[in-house]
Amino acid sequence: MIFRRKNSEQELSPQARERLAEIVEQYLTDADDATRRIVTAVAGLLAKVAYADGHYSVQEEATIQKELGRVHGLSQAGVDAICGLLADQISHVALLGDHDWTRDLRDLAERQLRLEVLEVLVEMAVADEVLKHEEQVQLRRIAKALSLTQDDYNAIQAKHRDKLSTLR
């Protein structure tokens, strides 16, 4: 074969994604399984949006730290462990499909929480004050997979219009 796709799904190991779930389980010991699955899904989707353009910036890492720091019961050590995994292996976490994460959020989270997750994901995408095309495509696809509408996405994105050089 003359042409090969970089980072095809077959070349990426799911071990980093499994490790993400293990870290969440390790540091959210008092939470039930549904809560751990929701937190894992949110962390995974944050990584997916952060890496949508193939680059993981300092601003994106800081945003992930901030958002994970808001999770009730997740210690700073847990946040650091997740962020350490992402710093080392974000491509392995982000580039495989996210259908398990979006399914868990659809099945386990009420609409209001799914909207909050989408808002956090949009905030992740604008952490560097530029909403790139790849990030928009990713966010719209995730919104649909979360059973949210284009209107939901547009309303959340509009809240960040002042931060978005691509929308000015």
The string of DSSP letters for 28-61 reads -TTS-HHHHHHHHHHHHHHHHHHTTTS---HHHH
- Supply φ then ψ for residue 132, to 5 degrees: -80, 160
Model confidence band, residue 6 (pLDDT cutoffs 50, 70, 90): very low
- Residue 162 reports pLDDT greater than 90: no
Give 69's contacts (C-beta < 8 A, 6+ positions apart): 76, 79
pTM of the entire predicted model: 0.87
- Residue 156 reports pLDDT greater than 50: yes
The full DSSP string for 114-134 is HHHHHHHHHHHHTTTS---HH
The mean pLDDT value for 79-87 works out to 96
Find, among 89, 88, 87, 68, the residue nearest to 77 by Cα: 68
